[in-house]
A and B are shown apart, each in its own frame.
Chain A
Amino acid sequence: MRATYFLQRLSQLLIVIFCVTFGCSLLLQLIPVSPAEILLPVGSPEERALLTKEIGLDRGPIGYYVKWLSEFVRGDFGDIYYSGGREAVSSRLVVAFPRSLWLMLYTQIVALAAAIALGVWSAYRVGRRADKVISNVLFVFSSIPGFAIALVLVLIIGVRLQWLPTLDYQPYSAGVWEHFKHMIMPVLSLSVGLIASYTRLLRADMIATLREDYITMAASKGLSDRRILWRHAFRPSSVTLFTSAALNMGGLIGGAIVIETIFATYGVGFEVFAAISGRQYIALQSLVGLISIFYVVFNVIVDFAVGFVDPRTRDRRVNK
């Protein structure tokens, strides 16, 4: 049963990755001009013909896709062309990827830490004033887009108070404080919305768990509230929370485009944007392929991790 389920998930995963990347390469065929003309605006017809051949565009949609795929799996993500030269996408990713990874990691840590504290507290005080205040404040913040929070932060903390730098990224090697100083505002603006949605999930599950008999049992044994909340109620209530957190990973790595642009963090999201605005369609295809692979792989890992942590869900999934 487990093996067939595993194979089924794996094939689904491969189909999705195939469709996404193939769809991207079809988009390239859809544009009304020859991509070589866009990539080499000042090139001679011979140079363009050479480039078309090199990219594989003369082989038709399927031939092109096969060529792209065989290079993609070998780690060659194509080149970015600009006037007077070209640069491999992979060499840009070496710079951009760690930035996005750190950004994603800090955002998740901040969001989860805050959401766990707030979620457990508001479930414990359900219906009381603390719960209502937390829920309402978070609801308002969840509706404000991240870029709006980012701009207001830049204005108040960066420009008026001058506490934090508003642009650029510093690697860890430039000093721990330097590194974090440049991360605080992007991480805050990304995590506010997540805190709200995570808290909601945890609160709902936690309230349901606290109504279970074994919690009453634990309370009647005379265990302290704190012990019941953290030892007995938190773990079974946290499955949805961690599932949703893991599903956000792919989106945070490639989807933080606006925040990365505002703060000039220049991670993977910015590379996607640069590929689009510079009409680097081959780079775009590779980047979107990578992001969707991340998304799908995290999806499957979560599926199995959840089944591992909470055996009840395993059976439910197989029967479906």
Chain B
Amino acid sequence: MSTNKTYTVPTYAAFGWLTFSTFLAVFGPLLPVESFRTIHGDFLDAKPFTAGHWFGVDSNGYDIFSGIINGARLSLFVAFITVGIGGFIGSLLGITAAYYRGRYDSIVNTAFNVVLAVPNLVLALALVAVLATNVDINEAVPTWRRLATLMISLTVVIIPILGRIARASALTWSGREFVVAARSMGMRDRHIIWRHIVPNVLPVLIAVGFLAVGVVIIAEASLSLLGVGIPDGASWGGMIARGRNDLEYNPHALYFPIIALALTVISTNHLGDVLRGRLDRREARL
């Protein structure tokens, strides 16, 4: 195996796809594309490559191309924000636990194990169910609150996954000579963690963070399929859920969001792998 070739064609492709979809996510509303909520009554069930509707139209009259662009915004937004916040809280807990050890460590570790003992989706579903309960149970929950509950639930799912990685990695580093040396020189704990441990743990966390983005995108889509995600088909998962009702006569309404979602997850997983591989090689040289 070639060891010096770090970036291959798939890596560029993955990076390119992620950049492209992030671009769509950020600048989507500015592009000259009609809103994903516009109903094209004359084009119901239009096949792909119809003029004006590249990806076709679904049986409700929604243009799939606009849906994909808008879905990029919500799917990626939810994924990056939850992994960001979850990763921050998780690594804060994990790194401090590994550094201070003792009872604090065992409490944090048990808490991680408790959350990990419940399957991802069950946990997210239960949290969504409880957090989205209105005082008046007959009143519909507003969209922003559904989005917020969804993100909080997914964050809770991410915290122990990344926290555990951070803890394991910080454990190996906090025993190294330079940390002991820093401690014996009287450096403050806060500074040791910030200067010596965080920079070493961070690359691993970023690599695993990419994998976590994939996990969140899939979890969000699964929740949409179960009918508790973001409503109105606004995310890729929501489009899949809507396309599922009509898969016999209008399969492209299902194919396009699945392809977009799969490409994104393949890209994040691949980049996570490449980063991890580079770290392992760096470790091996030390």
Instruction: Report which A residues bind B (CB closer than 8 A).
Output: 12, 15-17, 19-20, 23-24, 27, 30-33, 37-38, 41, 127, 139-140, 142-145, 147-148, 151-152, 154-155, 159, 250-251, 254-255, 257-258, 261-262, 269, 272-273, 276-277, 279, 281, 284, 288, 291-292, 295-296
Question: Within 8 Å of chain A (Cβ to Cβ): is B120?
Answer: yes
Question: Given A27-B130, A33-B133, does the pair A257, B244 have CB atoms closer than 8 Å?
Answer: no
Residue of A nearest to B1 (CB): A127
Which residues of A sit under 8 angstroms from B60, Cβ to Cβ?
A: none
Contact check, A143 vs B119: say whether CB atoms are below 8 A apart: no
Stretch from B158-166, B191-199, B246-254 forming part of the interface with A: B246-254
Q: Which of B111, B121, B228 contacts A255 (CB 8 A)?
A: B121
- Within the complex, what minimum Cβ distance (angstroms) separates A296 from chain B? 6
Which residues of B sit under 8 angstroms from A19, Cβ to Cβ?
A: 110-111, 114
Contact check, B129 vs A276: say whether CB atoms are below 8 A apart: yes
Question: Within 8 Å of chain A (Cβ to Cβ): is B87?
Answer: no
In the complex, what distance in Å separates the CA atom of A12 from the CA atom of B273? 33
Contact check, B258 vs A250: say whether CB atoms are below 8 A apart: no
Residue of B nearest to A37 (CB): B137
In the complex, what distance in Å separates the CA atom of A263 from the CA atom of B128? 24
Most A CB atoms within 10 A — which of B110, B122, B226? B122
- Within the complex, what minimum Cβ distance (angstroms) separates B268 from chain A? 8
- Within the complex, what minimum Cβ distance (angstroms) separates A35 from chain B? 10
Q: Which of B126, B135, B214, B218 contacts A27 (CB 8 A)?
A: B126
In the complex, what distance in Å separates the CA atom of A254 from the CA atom of B113? 17
Is the contact region of chain A dominated by helix, strand, or loop, or is it mixed? helix
In the complex, what distance in Å separates the CA atom of A204 from the CA atom of B51? 50
- Within the complex, what minimum Cβ distance (angstroms) separates B107 from chain A? 10
Q: Which of A257, A262, A272, A279 contacts B133 (CB 8 A)?
A: A279
Question: Given A31-B130, A142-B269, does the pair A277, B228 have CB atoms closer than 8 Å?
Answer: yes
In the complex, what distance in Å separates the CA atom of A296 from the CA atom of B36? 45
Residue of A nearest to B262 (CB): A144
In the complex, what distance in Å separates the CA atom of A74 from the CA atom of B157? 31
Contact check, A292 vs B130: say whether CB atoms are below 8 A apart: no
Question: Given A143-B269, A152-B258, A258-B222, does the pair A279, B129 have CB atoms closer than 8 Å?
Answer: yes
